[in-house]
Copies of this chain bind each other. A is one copy, B any other.
Amino acid sequence: MSHKLFLLPGDGIGPEIMKEVKAIIDWMNANLDVSFETDDGLVGGSAYDAYGVAISEEDMAKAMAADAVIFGAVGGPKWASVPYEARPEAALLRLRKDLGLFANLRPALVYPALADSSSLKKELVEGLDILIVRELTGGVYFGEPKEIVTLEDGQKRAIDTQLYTTSEIERITRVAFDLAKTRSNRVASAEKHNVMKSGLLWKEVVTKLGAKEYPDTPLEHVLADNCAMQLVRRPKQFDVILCDNLFGDILSDVAAMLTGSLGMLPSASLGAPDEKTGKRKAMYEPVHGSAPDIAGKGIANPIAMIASFSMALRYSFEMGKEADMIDKAIATVLEKGLRTGDIAKEGDTVVTTSQMGAAVLEEIKAL
Stretch at the interface among A191-199, A302-310, A313-321, A359-367: A191-199
Distance in angstroms between the alpha carbons of A257 and B262 in the assembled complex? 21
CA distance A258 to B257 in the complex (A): 14
**A195 engages B93 (CB within 8 Å):** yes
Complex contact B257–A229 (CB within 8 A): yes
Does A281 sit at the interface, judged by CB under 8 A?
Answer: no
Contact of A158 with B197 at beta-carbon distance under 8 Å, contacts A225-B253, A233-B257 already known: yes
Cβ contact within 8 Å between A194 and B159: no
Knowing A156-B201, A198-B159, the reply to whether A254 touches B233 (Cβ < 8 A) is no
Q: CA separation between A165 and B150, bound complex, in Å? A: 9
A203 to B143, CA, bound (A): 21
Contact B201 A158 (CB under 8 A): yes
Considering the chains assembled together, what is the distance between the CA atoms of A201 and B159 in angstroms?
Answer: 10
- The A245-281 residues at the B interface (CB cut-off 8 A) are 246-247, 249-250, 253-254, 256-258, 262
Binds B, one of A60-68, A117-125, A172-180: A117-125
List chain B residues, Cβ under 8 A from A224: 249-250
Contacts of A84 in B (CB 8 A): 200
Residues from 107 to 153 in A contacting B, C-beta threshold 8 Å: 119-121, 124, 140-141, 143, 146-148, 151
| Stoichiometry, copies per complex | 2
A182 at the interface (CB under 8 A from B): no
Contacting residue for A156 out of B119, B159, B166, B246, CB 8 A: B166
A159 to B195, CA, bound (A): 12
CA distance A257 to B229 in the complex (A): 6
Which residues on B sit within 8 Å (CB–CB) of A93?
A: 195
Decide if A162 touches B165 in the complex (CB within 8 Å).
no
Set of chain B residues within 8 Å of A161, measured between Cβ atoms? 159-162
**How far apart are the CA atoms of A234 and B262 in the complex, in Å?**
14
A336 close to B (CB within 8 Å): no
A246 → chain B closest CB, angstroms = 8
Of A87, A232, A256, the most chain B CB neighbours within 10 A belong to: A232
A197 close to B166 (CB less than 8 A): no
A246 and B199 CA atoms in complex are apart in Å by 13
B254→A201 contact, CB < 8 A: no
Minimum distance in angstroms from A312 CB to a CB of chain B: 24
Asked whether A48 is an interface residue with its Cβ less than 8 Å from the other chain, the reply is: no
Q: Which of B140, B164, B254 makes the CB contact (< 8 A) with A228?
A: B254
Interface contact B89-A158, CB-CB below 8 Å: no
The answer to whether B249 touches A160 (Cβ under 8 A) is: no
Q: Is A163's beta carbon under 8 Å from chain B?
A: yes
Task: Say if the beta carbon of A167 comes within 8 Å of chain B.
Answer: yes
Chain B neighbourhood of A141, CB < 8 A: 195
11 residue pairs of the A-B complex, CB under 8 angstroms, read: A89-B195, A119-B120, A146-B197, A148-B197, A158-B163, A158-B202, A160-B198, A225-B250, A229-B254, A229-B256, A229-B257
5 closest cross-chain pairs (CB), A and B: A158-B201, A158-B198, A160-B162, A155-B166, A225-B253
Chain A interface residues (CB < 8 Å from chain B): 84, 87, 89, 93, 119-121, 124, 140-141, 143, 146-148, 151, 155-167, 192, 194-198, 200-202, 205, 224-226, 228-229, 232-234, 246-247, 249-250, 253-254, 256-258, 262
